[in-house]
Amino acid sequence: MTRRRTGRRTGAAGALTLVLLAGGAVSPTGTPVAHAEPRACTEDQVRYVADEPSGLARLGARRAWALATGRGVVVAVIDSGVSTTNAHFPAGSVLPGRSFVGGPATTDETGHGTAIAGIIAARDIGKRSGVVGVAPAATILPVKISGGESGGDEAEQRAANLARGITYAVSAGADVINLSLSTSSDRRDVRSAVAAAVGAGVVVVASAGNREQATEVKDGLRYPAANPGVLGVAATTGPDEVTEDSIHGPHVDLAAPGDTVLTTFRTGGDCVLSQQGQSTSYATAYVSGAAALLRQRFPSASPAELSHRLQSTASRGTRTIRDDLSGWGVVQPYEAMTAVLDDTVAGPVRPGGAPRASLPPAVSTVDLTPAPDPRAPARETVLWLLLGIAVAVLGLGMGRMLRVPRGS
């Protein structure tokens, strides 16, 4: 079972710690980059990491690709934009999208949206880089709701533009919407936009919340993850422990890797994103990628049916138990695509299925009254007989002693 991580939180709220791990990098030409210490990822130098992202192995992505790669599926990334100058996003992999903050949606000043898009659908560029998305053939629809030319506070921009961004994504043909963001406010406009998206057949996936970025750091509901029909996602470490930064609550449905994530970096190259303050953002992207695989595999399934598949087949310690840390467990797309699900499968109730009755435990009364012994009369007879024999023997012995002459 997943557990809460007990390590110390580090880093400033909202900031990314960008680290290129030593020994795993190559230059744009494929020549290894030699360095003894971790080096910061910077805009002015393009580096690639030859290692495969560990999250792909945890999700069993390569096994899942034998069944689906996300081809024909459109995933909307409602975020800070997606940089199409990154080599992992060749022509046709990212749509023009729309920006609500000025400038094209295919630019990204913060790098957050590009990192999310890379986890979902980065293209394989050969031996120079191991980075590839969970759904490597899916198409990204960038919807830019923060950053851009208008400047201003990003949190306010996201809040003001989120509902419009969701509505646009649905109208532009999104099959999956990734929302790597959260708030403690249940906005009516966002709730309505999410309901319309789910009603239109779109799978909506949202962050369960990052403690270090939240104004309210206590556990509890976060939105849009807590809105009906949305999959809320917590982040885990390599050992499947929920990160300390993940906010816990009944809105958590699934978990996915979110700590030390290797993905696409801004305008070019790769980077390991090691800051916990963004952990559920990356975990959300992994689940969105898994949802894209399922959407290709089951094109006519409803969002509720796909969500049920993802939750029922998630990896967890006890099949019948959900908790507020990791929901139903770590997402497993291959199992979600191959499982035969009915009312007998442990886990969440399937859409349209009969609720499982919660029967009280059976209580029985133990009668401690001694039962009658059917052999008691026989035992009593034998006891008296033995007692009689003992008395007779004792009497004979005493009589013999009295008959012995005193002088002998």
Residue pLDDT, tens place only, 9-67:
322 333 454 555 444 555 444 443 433 344 578 887 899 999 999 999 999 999 999 99
Residue 148's pLDDT is what? Answer: 76
Residue 377's pLDDT is what? Answer: 77
Cis, peptide link before residue 370, omega less than 30° from 0: no
Euclidean distance between the first and the last CA atom of the chain, given in angstroms as a whole number: 93
Global pTM value: 0.81
Q: Which of 88, 108, 112, 315 is catalytic?
A: 112
Residue 368's pLDDT is what? Answer: 67
How would you classify the pairing of strands 74-79 and 39-40? unpaired
Could you give the CA distance from residue 240 to residue 143 in angstroms, rounded to a whole number? 31
Residue with structure tokens 């913060």? Answer: 110
The domain over range 18-338 is classified in CATH as 3.30.420.40: no
Please state, as a whole number, how many other Cβ atoms lie within 10 Å of the Cβ of residue 229: 17
Residue 202's pLDDT is what? Answer: 98
279 is catalytic: no
Residue 70's pLDDT is what? Answer: 98
From the number of C-beta atoms within 10 Å of its C-beta (0-12, 13-18, 19+), residue 33 rates as middle
Residue 380's pLDDT is what? Answer: 76
Q: Which of 79, 253, 259, 323 is catalytic?
A: 79
Could you give the CA distance from residue 2 to residue 253 in angstroms, rounded to a whole number? 13
Please state, as a whole number, how many other Cβ atoms lie within 10 Å of the Cβ of residue 34: 8
Q: Which of 80, 207, 279, 281 is catalytic?
A: 281
Residues with pLDDT less than 70, the chain: 1-39, 150-152, 214-216, 275-277, 356-369, 371, 402-408
Phi-psi region of 260 (alpha: psi -120 to 50; beta: other; left: phi over 0): left
Ramachandran angles phi, psi of 306, nearest 5°: -70, -40
Could you give the CA distance from residue 154 to residue 86 in angstroms, rounded to a whole number? 23
AA identity, residue 180 = S
246 is catalytic: no
Residue 385's pLDDT is what? Answer: 81
Domain boundary assignment for the chain: 18-338
Residue with structure tokens 């952990």? Answer: 279
Could you give the CA distance from residue 105 to residue 101 in angstroms, rounded to a whole number? 9
Residue 155's pLDDT is what? Answer: 78
373 is catalytic: no
Tell me, letter by letter, the H, E, C secondary structure of the chain.
Answer: CCCECCCCCCCCCCCCCEEECCCCEECCCCCECCCCCCEECCCCCCCEECCCCHHHHHHCHHHHCCCCCCCCCEEEEEECCCCCCCCCCCCCCECCCEECCCCCCCCCCCCHHHHHHHHHHCCCCCCCCCCCCCCCCCEEEEEECCCCCCCCCHHHHHHHHHHHHHHHHHHCCCCEEEECCCECCCCHHHHHHHHHHHHCCCEEEEECCEHHHCCCCCCCCCECCCCCCEEEEEEECCCCCECCCECCCCCCCEEEECCCEEEECCCCCEEEECCHHHHHHHHHHHHHHHHHHHHHHCCCCCHHHHHHHHHHCCECCCCCCCECCCECCECCHHHHHHCCCCCCCCCCCCCCCCCCCCCCCCCCCCCCCCCCCCCHHHHHHHHHHHHHHHHHHHHHHHHHHHCCCCCC
Residue with structure tokens 């969701």? Answer: 166
